[in-house]
Amino acid sequence: MIAPTMPQRLAAEMFGTFWLVFGGCGSAVFAATVQTSDGSLVGIGFLGVALAFGLTVLTGVYAVGTVSGGHFNPAVTLGAAIARRVEWKALPLYWLVQVIGGLIAGLLIFVVARGRPGFEAAGHMAANGYGEHSPTGYSLWAVLITEVVLTAVFLFVILGATEERAPKGFAGLAIGLTLTLIHLISIPISNTSVNPARSTAVAFFNGSGAPAQLWLFWVAPLAGAAIAGVAYPLLFGIREQLADRPVREEVLDAEERRRRS
């Protein structure tokens, strides 16, 4: 099997990040709360938005994960690099196309949303925030802690679901469901980032304080990812240590029998 080229990997990351932002943030902007012609309010709510983010990652991973690894998130790329799952030289290129893909999606959401009379982008573009820009008023420190912890958990699941010991074919499902759960926890706190590209994608279209607070939604996810990238191999081992499992002798005996036969 021929390995994907770097341009192919970058195209996959741009597409995946575009899909994550357009599907996740788009659901929040277009469908979270909808006022019908008779004045009643309907919509998918927090649960629907959380599912939308999880589904975008799930479908994106299965679509192009074999090409690029299916990161769609600068924090995931950093954690994977620290855990030696991706080469360091790919990191700046992945970050660049992830941000570009997210911004394209943010622009598309902005353009479509402006097609509805009376739409105001300020405060209505699914931007992340703390303090007065948090959906329910959580402080900077509460948001910082939440984003660090949830990003670290997200990376633990990703690293575990994609390693050799994991059941094959289920990584996308585990990752998508984890992102759904993360959103169910933290939409009321920060509108959920755990992804600097997702935050950047809509911050400047949203305005209303979001650009000034964007730093936190880079620092916290990257810190959480770095923690997981360092801790996962230390806690659970790496590929070179798989022979230390209890089945080591059985594996060695089986290999020896094959050689003799």
Measure the CA–CA gap between 169 and 171, rounded to whole angstroms.
6
Q: What is the pLDDT of residue 1?
A: 67
Measure the CA–CA gap between 192 and 32, rounded to whole angstroms.
14
What residue segments make up the domains of the chain, in order of their start? 6-260
Report the predicted TM-score, pTM, of the whole model to 2 decimal places: 0.89
Q: What is the pLDDT of residue 131?
A: 97
Q: How many CB atoms lie within 10 A of CB 113?
A: 17
Q: Which residues, 6 or more positions from 232, have their beta carbon under 8 angstroms from its beta carbon? A: 83, 155, 156, 159, 160
Instruction: Indicate the SS3 state at residue 41.
Output: strand
Q: Could you read off the pLDDT of 229-245 as tens digits, one per residue?
A: 999 999 988 654 433 33
Q: What is the pLDDT of the chain when averaged over all its residues?
A: 91
Least confident segment among 78-82, 111-115, 210-214, 243-247: 243-247
Measure the CA–CA gap between 203 and 216, rounded to whole angstroms.
12
Measure the CA–CA gap between 43 and 48, rounded to whole angstroms.
8
Q: Could you read off the pLDDT of 23-73 as tens digits, one per residue?
A: 999 999 999 988 777 777 789 999 999 999 999 999 999 999 999 999 999
Q: Given pLDDT bands bounded at 50, 70 and 90, which one contains residue 129? A: very high
Measure the CA–CA gap between 85 and 13, rounded to whole angstroms.
16
Task: Read off the tokens for 246.
Answer: 């209890």
Measure the CA–CA gap between 56 and 1, rounded to whole angstroms.
27
The topology under which CATH files domain 6-260 is: Glycerol uptake facilitator protein (1.20.1080)
Task: Read off the tokens for 236.
Answer: 């659970």
Comparing CA positions, the residue from 197, 195, 27, 6 lying closest to residue 90 is 6
